[in-house]
Amino acid sequence: MTALVRDPIPLPARPGRRPPAAGAASLALRPLLDPPRRAARVIAVFPSALYLETRGGPEPRVLAVVTCDAVRLPNAVVIAAERREQPFRSVREGDEATVGDGRVEAGALCVRVRRWWDPTPALGRIQPAALARGVAVLEDAFVAAGMAGGGLAGHPDPLALAECCAAGDLAGAVEAAERIVGLGPGLTPSGDDILCGLLVSLRLVGGAARGGEAAVRLADWLGAAVTADAGTRTTALAATLLHCAAAGGAGGEIAAVLRCVAGQEPPSAAVRRLLAIGHTSGTDLAWGVLAGCRATLALTSPGQRRTA
C-alpha cells in the first residue's frame, strides 16, 4: 500500500539551489525523514543514485536518492528524473548534507518528500501446494535466465547456510551467516547481498505461507545475529540494507520476484530485472531469495515444522 502525502504549500528555491524536486520515500525512512533535520554526508555518487550517511542515531543510517529508472532499494527516495537528466551532477562524494523535516539536501540538490511507498510487498496467503509450485517456477526461471554462481561462487559458507536453513538448524545457520557478513568487495559485498535476499524471503514468504512460522522465527534469529554488529563488519550501506531486510524491507526487484513465488505475476521479466542489478549483486540477491524460498518450503512440511 502506498500512502500519499501532499504538500499544498509552494516550495521556493533557496539561494543557489534549484527548486525542490518531489520524491517518493520508502516507509523505512520515516525515522530519518520525519524528525528535525540532522547532518549527513554524501558517501557515494553515481549517475542514477547518491547515498547519504547520517551521523549517529539508529538504523537506517544510510539513505539513497535514486532516479525513477534506477534500482529501487528499500531505503530509497525516488525522484521523477531519469538517469540521462543527470540530477546528481552538482553533488560530490564527501559533500555535507542534511536529512529531515521531510527533505533531503545535498549540494544544490533539494528533494521534498511528497508521498511514501511501502517496501514490504503484500503476498496474500500461500497454500502449501501453491508454494511448492511457486518455488519450482522460480527455479526454472533462474535456470532459463542463465543465473551464474555470483560473487561467492565456490565458497562453502553460502551453501552451508542454505542447507542449515532448510534443515531448521538454527545454530548452524547463524554461524554460517555470521561468517559471510561483509564478505566480498563493493558498496554491498556479496555475502550481505545473499543475506538480504535470504532474510527477506524467509520473513515475507514465511509470513504468507500456511505453516511458515518456523521460517519467520529463523528470520528473526538470523536477522538479529547479522545486524548486531554489522556497522563494524561491513559497509554503511550494506549494514542499512541488512537492517531493512531483517525487518522485511525488499527492493522493488526482489518484491517482484517474491510476487512471482506467490503466483501474482509471471517470473521471466522479474527474474531478468533482478539478475541485471550491478556486477554480481543481482545474482547474489537471487541466490539468497531462492535459498530462503526453498528453506521456507522445507520448513512448512510436517517433518520440519518443529526444528526451527
SS (H, E, C) 236-255: HHHHHHHHHHHCCCCCHHHH
Q: Is the peptide bond before 185 cis (omega within 30 degrees of 0)?
A: no
Number of domains in the chain: 2
Q: What is the mean pLDDT of residues 153-157?
A: 94
Same domain? For 111 and 147 the reply is no
Q: Are 105 and 63 in contact (CB under 8 A)?
A: no
Evaluate whether residue 162 is within a structural domain: yes
Same domain? For 291 and 242 the reply is yes
Q: Residue 9: pLDDT above 50?
A: no
Strands (E), the chain: 21-26, 38-46, 49-54, 62-66, 76-79, 96-100, 103-106, 109-117
Domain boundary among 117, 144, 163: 117
Identify the helix (H) or strand (E) that includes residue 233. helix 230-233
Evaluate whether residue 10 is within a structural domain: no
Cell of 37: 533535520
The values of phi and psi at residue 283, to 5°, are: -65, -40
Evaluate whether residue 6 is within a structural domain: no
Domain boundary among 70, 96, 117: 117
Same domain? For 137 and 87 the reply is no
The pLDDT tens digits for 295-304 are 999 999 765 4
Q: What is the mean pLDDT of residues 206-220?
A: 97
Evaluate whether residue 209 is within a structural domain: yes
Domain boundary among 75, 91, 117: 117
Same domain? For 98 and 147 the reply is no
The values of phi and psi at residue 159, to 5°, are: -65, -40
Same domain? For 38 and 58 the reply is yes
Same domain? For 205 and 273 the reply is yes
Q: Are 81 and 87 in contact (CB under 8 A)?
A: yes
At residue 288, the pLDDT reads 98
The pLDDT tens digits for 99-145 are 999 999 999 999 999 999 999 999 999 999 999 999 999 999 999 99
At residue 69, the pLDDT reads 96
Same domain? For 35 and 149 the reply is no
Same domain? For 67 and 188 the reply is no
Residue 60 belongs to what domain range? 21-117
The pLDDT tens digits for 36-68 are 999 999 999 999 999 999 988 889 999 999 999
Evaluate whether residue 304 is within a structural domain: no
